[in-house]
Amino acid sequence: MADAVDYDQLIPNNVGLADDPKLRRALEAWHPGYIDWWMDMGPDGFQEAEVWLRTAVSVEKSGWAKFAFVRMPEYRWGILLAPRHEERTIPCGEHLGEPAWQEVPGEYRALLRRLIVIQGDTEPASVEQQRFLGRTAPSLYDMRNLFQVNVEEGRHLWAMVYLLQKYFGRDGREEAKGLLERRSGSDDRPRMLGAFNEETPDWLSFFLFTFFTDRDGKMQLEALAQSGFDPLSRTCRFMLAEEAHHMFVGDTGVGRIVRRTAEAMKEAGIEDPYDADAVRALGVIDFPTIQRKMNLHFSLTLDLFGSEQSTNAATAFNAGVKGRFREADIDDDHQLHDNTYPLLEQVGDGFEKVEIPALKALNARLRDDFVDDCAGGLRRWNRDIAAAGIAFELKLPHIAFNRQIGEFADAGVTPKGAIVDGATWESSSADWLPTPDDRAFIEDLMQPLHEPGKFASWIAPPRKGIAQKPIDYEYVRLPY
Ligand code: BYC
Ligand code: FE
Ligand code: FE
């Protein structure tokens, strides 16, 4: 079977590594550095634990994963591409309709390399950011989900390193090395994109990160899955299968925190969501704090889409190297020479949609698609708050709020979208973003719970376990 995954190799793969000794040597030479990085920067204190993890064993739609207890450093990080469609053509840009490339076109080599390196850089960055969270896991179930996400982000790094080493020769090998050298938050060698140098200090941040930032990952992977460079497309299509679980972890994680707060308030007869002292005394996280944390993670994630108006994005689309979200379903000429896109801009003391050339607005468009994709989660969370009879609604802040990149980088804009002067911003930002007090409260709350089936006071149990196992399954066997 052409797409069967070969697990007899040091590096499991379905890319015929056994028949490509040069590439195999390059990857095997990179492997020890990867393991060193994982031991240094991977889950701190849990490298010996046995974790109920899924490993991809096939790229078929059904039955692609198997579950087993694995120590994370022994996880079988593999190189897996979704099946090739022989007839696939380039879906956009000036090469529209031409056969997809199986090799890197010389003229787009630098462009492709840059996109692959940026994608690759985010994967280990997130593992670094989440490194200490195992210590404060609210349950074994949650700890297992964290580690599942971590090993898969590690595999996503392998996925990009494979492309670099197979298709980009010596510079690819250099870039692959660099991916193991940069560090999230480092002063001298930081990760490439802003949000990946921020901290993920607690589990509310982790769940918001997987809800928002992994969802940027999903959107970017969807756009790269449209690439005319077929190996990149196939790699991203397979990564998206794993990404769905990361989004599930975020969506249900925030949802369970929200549900627990709503239940606890109802039980205690507290109706005022702004009575933070009373709510916090119940051992749950008050909604305004959740909202402030959400404001932060949402705005950090929006910056990852780059400038709303971008010639880089136009170039990548024109070249057929990066498409739009669900390119094939969009009803236009897929070249965008004459199309416009309504871009939200600051006009005077308000915001207006201004039609600009669609080619220049591709980052804004993907960001808009992202915002739409977030709506389902918020709707579900708010339903649970309303069901408990509490008058509070979680809302995404305005897209211009707290931005560092693009159109709104210099604007002072409130979560509701009011434009304010610098002094007002400074004096009010504590209402909108997490405060040191919020942080201290949450840090205090994050006490580990390692008894199967038990959950910390601030989070509801999940509705069901993982892969048919019960909720009280011992998902992580700790070595002590
Ligand atoms: N921070 O035209 P511009 C994931 C730079 S997440 C720092 O505005 P462009 C994951 C930009 O590089 C998905 N720098 O933007 C999630 C450029 O620099 P140079 C990751 C930034 O290029 C959770 C300059 O500003 N994948 O997978 O159109 C866990 C002007 O660029 C930032 C990708 O992002 C920033 N936020 O778009 C684990 C896909 N934004 O070249 C994993 C690949 C922009 O002038 N990357 N800059 O020095 C891309 O498609 C594009 O590079 C970007 C930026 C969308 C990121
Ligand atoms: Fe990833
Ligand atoms: Fe992810």
Q: pLDDT, tens digit, for every residue of 92-125? A: 999 999 999 999 999 999 999 999 999 999 999 9
- Residue nearest atom 6 in ligand 1 by C-alpha distance: 217
153 Cβ below 6 A of ligand 1 = yes
**Residues 392-446: tens digit of each pLDDT:** 999 999 999 999 999 999 899 999 999 999 999 999 989 999 999 999 999 999 9
**Contact in structure between 204 and 310 (CB atoms under 8 Å):** no
- Residue nearest atom 35 in ligand 1 by C-alpha distance: 193
Tell me how crowded residue 407 is: count the other CB atoms within 10 A of its CB.
18
118 Cβ below 6 A of ligand 1 = yes
In the numeric block, the tokens 């280990």 are attached to 124
First to last CA, the chain: 43
Give the separation between CA 461 and CA 324, rounded to whole angstroms.
37
The pLDDT assigned to 61 comes to 73
2 pLDDT higher than 60: no
Give the separation between CA 197 and CA 286, rounded to whole angstroms.
27
318 Cβ below 6 A of ligand 1 = no
The pLDDT assigned to 1 comes to 43
Tell me how crowded residue 356 is: count the other CB atoms within 10 A of its CB.
16
Q: Which domains does the chain have, with CATH numbers?
A: 17-477 (1.10.620.20)
1 burial class (0-12, 13-18, 19+ CB within 10 angstroms)?
exposed
Mean pLDDT of 313-330: 98
Mean pLDDT of 346-366: 96
CA distances from 296 to 274, 345, 365, 369, 434 (A): 19, 21, 21, 19, 7
Give the separation between CA 278 and CA 257, rounded to whole angstroms.
17
Arithmetic mean of pLDDT over the chain: 96
136 pLDDT higher than 80: yes
**Contact in structure between 54 and 78 (CB atoms under 8 Å):** no
Give the separation between CA 145 and CA 313, rounded to whole angstroms.
34
For β-strands 65-71 and 476-477, DSSP reports them as: unpaired
Report yes or no on whether pTM surpasses 0.85.
yes
Give the separation between CA 201 and CA 195, rounded to whole angstroms.
13
**Contact in structure between 92 and 103 (CB atoms under 8 Å):** no
Nearest-ligand number for the alpha carbon of 159? 2
Q: How far is the CA of 115 from the centre of ligand 1 (A)?
A: 8
The pLDDT assigned to 62 comes to 73
The pLDDT assigned to 332 comes to 96
**Residues 138-148: tens digit of each pLDDT:** 999 999 999 99
Q: How far is the CA of 193 from the centre of ligand 1 (A)?
A: 6
**Residues 258-301: tens digit of each pLDDT:** 999 999 999 999 999 999 999 999 999 999 999 999 999 999 99
Q: How far is the CA of 130 from the centre of ligand 1 (A)?
A: 21
Measuring CA to CA, which residue among 60, 238, 79, 38 is closest to residue 166?
79
**Residues 63-100: tens digit of each pLDDT:** 778 899 999 999 999 999 999 999 999 999 999 999 99
